[in-house]
């Protein structure tokens, strides 16, 4: 089971990461998509990695992915929304900042999805994300669960074999 973004072109290449996340390169953007997980994904990021108080619910660990050790995440705007299909969606805009320096090193956008009792997260990294908020929001709002794994068998496939 995995998170699917409908607005990503089908020919876009995906790379499977060792932790089960899928990495997608879309022009200058890098997008990491977590697998669907039972429960909440927002409880794994240590508070030491965040500038200021940690909001509740907290950030998913994916938010700090590949963040340099001398950097912290500054939480910016947060928006509660829905996907195009009506699933709950939480968008969190972040900046990666070096300790003792307010200038951001990188901007990030994290999307947290809730699909029944499963959840997933997406991390968008790239230059000038703030300039492209409407397009990125639309991209992330196309998120939906893909309940079956395309590499595994289905009841329909078994039925076709049996007939």
Question: What Cα–Cα distance (Å) separates residue 43 from each residue in 18, 23, 47?
Answer: 20, 22, 10
pLDDT of residue 8: 85
pLDDT of residue 45: 45
Structural fold of domain 2-162:
Protein Transport Mog1p; Chain A (3.40.1000)
Question: 26 vs 108, which has greater pLDDT?
Answer: 108
Question: Which pLDDT band, with edges at 50, 70 and 90, does 37 fall under?
Answer: confident
Instruction: Assess contact for 115 and 54: CB atoms under 8 A.
Output: no
Q: Is the dihedral of CA 136, 141, 147, 152 positive or negative?
A: negative
Question: Which pLDDT band, with edges at 50, 70 and 90, does 39 fall under?
Answer: confident
Q: Residues for the chain: how many in total?
A: 163
Distance between first and last Cα of the chain: 27
What are the tens digits of pLDDT across the range 5-35?
998 887 788 899 998 899 999 888 899 999 8
pLDDT of residue 86: 95
What are the tens digits of pLDDT across the range 45-95?
444 455 555 554 567 788 888 888 888 888 888 899 999 999 999 999 999
């Amino acid at each position: 089971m995995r998170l699917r973004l409908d607005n990503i072109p089908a020919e876009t290449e995906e790379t499977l990461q060792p932790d089960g996340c899928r990495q997608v390169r879309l022009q200058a953007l890098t997008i990491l998509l977590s697998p669907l997980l039972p429960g909440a994904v927002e409880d794994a990021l240590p508070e030491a990695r965040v500038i200021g108080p940690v909001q509740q619910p907290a950030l998913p660990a994916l938010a700090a992915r590949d963040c340099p050790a001398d950097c912290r995440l500054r939480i910016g705007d947060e928006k509660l929304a829905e996907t195009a299909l009506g699933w709950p969606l939480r968008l969190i805009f972040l900046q990666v900042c070096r300790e003792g320096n307010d200038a951001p090193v990188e901007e990030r956008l994290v999307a947290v999805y809730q699909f029944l009792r499963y959840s997933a997260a997406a991390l968008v990294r790239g230059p000038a994300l703030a300039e492209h908020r409407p397009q990125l929001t639309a991209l992330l709002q196309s998120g939906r669960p893909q309940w079956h794994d395309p590499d595994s068998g289905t009841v329909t496939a078994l039925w076709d074999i049996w007939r």
